[in-house]
Amino acid sequence: MNNIIKRMWKRLLTIIPSKKQQENTNVITTIQQCEKNLSTHDTHDVLVKSILENELNRQTTSLNLITSENLVSKAVFKINSNIFINKCTVGYPGGRYYGGCEFVDELEKEAINRAKCLFKCKYANVQPHSGSQMNQAVMLALLSSGDTIMGMDQKYGGRFTHGSVVHISGMWLKYISYGIDLKTGLIDMNEVLNVAVKYRPRFIIAGSSSYPRTIDWKAFKQVADESDSFLFADISHIAGLIVTGLHPSPIEYCDVVTTTTHRSLRGPHGGLILSNNQELFDRISCSLFPEIQSGPMISVIAAKAMAFFEAQQDDYKTLTKSVIENAKTMVERLKIKGINVISNGTDNHLVIIDLKALGIVDEQVASWFNRCRIIVNKNTTSKDKSLTNSSANIISVLRLSTCACTSRGLKKEDFEKIADMIADGLLEIKDKGKLSPLLETTIKTQVLNITNKYPIDYNV
């Protein structure tokens, strides 16, 4: 029996190493095959690669006048894809839930310091994934369900994250609004005061998505004091102008300020929360994490840090000046062509065309220009009583921005041509009810003549 056991044990000792060697060989072969497949996918994923190339071609061969978009620098474009895409982290610097965060902390602290320096404030949170989440964090921290908030009427430029019925803020809170003087197109601060005193909102929001004039933060502060309300500024559309001193800053007047990091700030898509009030800021930061979002996108925070650095440079201020000058150029050219512009001008990057004055209500107006490769944004109002059309969605304005095209390199004379093309298109739509194939072809040719002069030098 002992001899049998010895022979079995000897046989087992022979089989195990052989089996392990075979398993190791199988594992190595599998890993090598996976790496080969991944490499093949990376090189030959025809579908995704073609989609990226098609989008680059679309952007390159069209003129982007979308108000919420810009063209980031090659540095921001490149750094937006970085090694931190592999890192999962939850929490704030010095208090992470995961290990291996020493360089995460270093990066986020640097982004915070750059944001504070750029906006001249004491506290900054760079973690919000989006504009919606940054605003939700502020409201969740400072308000209770059923509280009254007050913001600009959405048909005059109020943002949907400020109390829209289709957004969580409008479902959770009671929303009241202030508007503009319909004759001047300007915010009527007397109306703002009267509404605030009447309803005593817990929260007043200053800032909009389509207001082309300078906002008087001090006047809003006086209203907030009078109604005993928090004052919150959302500067998402004008942050780039504010940091360069081309628009007054709300920091000294507001309890909290938020902004997206794209649009005029020319960074990656994301949000930013700013304040000089530590107690409120701490509450808001706790609201953002852990109540709304978990891990921050550290790779995007790296791109935010780069954008904050670029915004402190002299050439960024020169660029932003050009953004405003080009917007004013478009306004004057449109007016020469007989096109009415809301507020009769602009102080920032926005050009708001009044379609009601032209009698244009067709929802296809933006689509017609998009076919001409001029990418624009329409705005609607609900059951506009100033028009006989009874549709629930009346096209009231076209919102245009000079940010992306200025970042691309277009000059004053290019914006004059763009304004002419838009005016010619609108006047034909007014007269004929549509854009003719002949004019569509003519505009498209003129657009391509401009875009060919200013290629977008990205490698996708």
pTM of the model: 0.87
User: What is the mean pLDDT of the segment spanning 413-431?
Assistant: 97
217 alpha carbon, distance to own chain's centre: 22
Evaluate if residue 54 carries a pLDDT over 50: yes
Most confident of the following: 28-42, 356-370, 415-429: 415-429
User: What is the mean pLDDT of the segment spanning 311-335?
Assistant: 98
Residue written as token pair 């389509």: 210
The torsion of the CA quartet 427, 431, 432, 435, rounded to 10 degrees, works out to: 0
pLDDT at residue 23, as a whole number: 47
pLDDT at residue 158, as a whole number: 67
CATH architecture of 323-451: Alpha-Beta Complex (3.90)
**Residue 389: band (very low, low, confident or very high) from pLDDT cuts 50, 70, 90:** very low
Q: What are the structural domain ranges in the chain? A: 75-310, 323-451
**Rounded Cα distance, 337 and 330, in Å:** 11
Q: Does domain 75-310 have CATH number 3.30.465.10?
A: no
pLDDT at residue 384, as a whole number: 44
CA distances from 303 to 106, 137, 262, 270 (A): 14, 22, 11, 10
Evaluate if residue 15 carries a pLDDT over 70: no
Instruction: Summarize pLDDT for 218-267 with one digit per residue, the tens.
Output: 999 999 999 999 999 999 999 999 999 999 999 999 999 999 999 999 99
The torsion of the CA quartet 300, 168, 163, 352, rounded to 10 degrees, works out to: 50
44 alpha carbon, distance to own chain's centre: 32
C-beta of residue 66 within 8 angstroms of C-beta of residue 377 = yes
Instruction: Summarize pLDDT for 151-182 with one digit per residue, the tens.
Output: 998 777 766 666 577 777 767 888 899 988 98
